[in-house]
Chain A
């Protein structure tokens, strides 16, 4: 497994360099995992990306570097300490400093080629040579990474970089050539389309914006209307309006925008109109750290909005979840006529991973669930045993579909009757009983006989998974982990079983207060004995988890 860092200022084209590299690596057979560390600015500052690749599955980034590709001098200063002993630095010939490096006159050559912006592409060419990647797929890679008009100059640049360097690492081969290279936001958008999404409304907010951009680009092909709303309040009310009218609808935002959507969650709850809302979390409160990652919205989204109504919250753990669980969210929202919230975060949203093509036969249903027209008079909010009332599409027959944010009777008319009120609350809350049956237990990783049980949720899945392998190699199988995807209502079966056996229970979360631990304590009484909490806006890595646990003496 190799791990390289590409760094520079915003506006220097790191994106293009990385896009060329990750595609070329994957086409050569490697599994590729790329994380993004960008500042919230358009020019200057320091941005970097880490590409980890090899011939086996990778689920976490790593901070131990085989190579640094420095598009500016600052990159070397900031990251040199993470370079492995035999690692390399690739930089421009004119960079000052007495460090050992592969120096190529990239800026000079790029100017000579007539486009100063291709110096990053020269670097990409050099890196391909260093790692022994051949040129078989280069045309296709460039085609999808740069604009048509710049194809030739980039081709020239890659070739120059390739010739200017020597090979260092042998190519290890790999079987991932025909897999996809997709990030969490794209996977989520694709999952929504696979579920039959027809209407998407959103207001731009990092790190959720790429979802709306993806859907806009593919709007015509996918038959999806993507409308940029004037604010997040409009975005969710639009999604609910479209859903009422019978199409699958969704909105996504980050925590700040979710705060504005809160009142309408309750509208979906009481009017029983399905809606899917994704919160791609970033550090808060307020504006927080716009381009960075955190898992601090859990307790917020499980209780957001006044009043009481059933809801479902699903945390996305990886690029498979982003697709399949998003599709499932639509199915559950429809089946129970409730809001379903998807919790993602910047780490998962922006991280590109190699993923097997999704299996569409695993998608539950891609049309809204509508009741058969069997009754003589349609009663929108009919009180039923399972709490689910028949749903119909307005304008499709000789009946009226009502929807009301006021408490209402079975016909949807406003009422203040104490009796009806209680019946309606009970009816809505009964949906939770069915929902409990649908819950997917957290995935167990590691050794059944573990003495130390790690608990996590969402995007820390990958890092925890890597850590468990490392820790069990060292300890001979003392570690296990449960990582939650379905998180509200909280599935408790696996948790109760493993918690009983474990001596140490440690929650690992990207927040300051241990929100999962607190939810678990509230629901089950189970107390975590220790915790690893990270809230600096940077995702914890598998190595970091393993190192900390060993340092704290859990290795036996």
Chain B
């Protein structure tokens, strides 16, 4: 057993799903024996995005929607850091939607935990990209007209090598998903169903509890078409587990500067390089 992670007093509402996510995160990291000083917890802005503030690790709490580019580059700079992004559905799929797709394409070895409460929590209850059609919110007074995004399906379609869903109310399952995602070499997404007790009165704990079920043990997560069919199931029954998993080279493995040498941050600058480059202009 390695060093333990401390957690701090939070500013979340009592009963919020974020508490169990934080607990599972601590357990997962400790069970994986990871040194807190070698962990980078990155986030954007939102309730979920406060997670790094509440656990003892290095932190990067950047801009709303922009955590993935920063986390990706931090990992590129130092592959010895375990880089984990904890942030909301609005942050990940709305403001940062473009980065989401391209972080998948880049396949840098980072882990992305989306606390998907299907609402904007911090800004007090507007619709998010995953809010159901018809859902009445403070800003969608006549009900949400937009169709919800299916992040699991989108991630598989965009080419992610590890795509899972879990539920904050099932801590055993969530911890296992987190451990698998952190251990995966490449970009890994876990979309975590998370009740927001204050601003989402529809997708409540019992709403999820009644619908959630485990993907069967014989679900072939290496079969992309099968994974996509299962991902499309989201309604009366909501499957959780690993939808898709594919082993493929990550960014570092393919990059000439990163693959062969030590972490970028430890590579020394050699002035001869510039001398040689200058000679090309003579």
Contacts and interface: CB of A to CB of B under 8 A. Distances in A.
B63 A263 contact: yes
B153 interface: no
B226 interface: no
B282 A179 contact: yes
Given A180-B278, A398-B37, A267 B256 contact: no
B58 A190 contact: no
A395 B37 contact: yes
A218 to B, nearest CB: 6
B276 to A, nearest CB: 7
A19 to B, nearest CB: 12
Contact of B74 (A178, A222, A244): A244
Given A224-B257, A237-B63, A238-B70, A193 B274 contact: yes
Interface stretch (A80-88, A401-409, A447-455): A401-409
Nearest to B78: A245
A401 to B, nearest CB: 5
A182 B69 contact: no
Interface in B248-282: 255-258, 261, 264-265, 267, 269-271, 273-278, 280-282
Contact of A264 (B37, B57, B63): B63
B62 interface: yes
B66 interface: yes
Nearest to A358: B278
B277 A403 contact: no
Interface string B77-113: 1101100000000000000001101100010000000
Contacts of B81: 245, 394-395
A234 interface: yes
Nearest to A238: B73
B267 A223 contact: yes
A242 to B, nearest CB: 4
B71 interface: yes
B269 A230 contact: no
A245 B265 contact: yes
A104 to B, nearest CB: 31
A227 B73 contact: yes
A231 B96 CA distance: 11
Contacts of A225: 76, 255, 257-258, 264
B38 interface: yes
Contacts of A240: 62, 70, 73
A241 B58 contact: no
Interface in B24-47: 36-38, 40, 42, 45
B50 interface: yes
A30 interface: no
A388 B70 CA distance: 23
B144 interface: no
Interface residues of A, number: 65
A400 B73 contact: no
B73 A201 contact: yes
A230 B59 contact: no
A252 to B, nearest CB: 15
A230 B40 contact: no
Contact of B274 (A182, A194, A401): A194
B60 A244 contact: yes
A371 to B, nearest CB: 16
Contacts of A367: 269
B273 A193 contact: yes
Given A230-B98, A249-B73, A394-B81, A403 B60 contact: yes
B7 interface: no
B77 A247 contact: yes
A140 B254 CA distance: 34
B108 to A, nearest CB: 9
B73 A242 contact: yes
A196 interface: yes
A181 B265 CA distance: 32
B61 A403 contact: yes
Given A223-B273, A395-B37, A246 B98 contact: no
Contacts of A148: none
Contacts of A190: 274, 277-278
Interface in B217-255: 255
Contacts of A245: 40, 73-75, 77-78, 81, 265
7 contacts: A221-B277, A230-B101, A237-B62, A237-B66, A237-B73, A241-B72, A246-B77
Interface of B: 36-38, 40, 42, 45, 50, 53, 56-63, 66, 68-78, 80-81, 98-99, 101-102, 106, 255-258, 261, 264-265, 267, 269-271, 273-278, 280-282
Would you list the 8 A-B pairs with minimal beta carbon distance, nearest first?
Answer: A241-B70, A180-B281, A245-B77, A241-B73, A238-B73, A230-B102, A394-B58, A242-B73
Given A403-B59, A405-B61, 19 more contacts: A181-B282, A186-B281, A198-B267, A201-B73, A224-B257, A227-B73, A229-B69, A230-B98, A230-B102, A237-B62, A237-B63, A241-B69, A241-B70, A246-B265, A249-B77, A395-B37, A395-B58, A401-B58, A403-B61
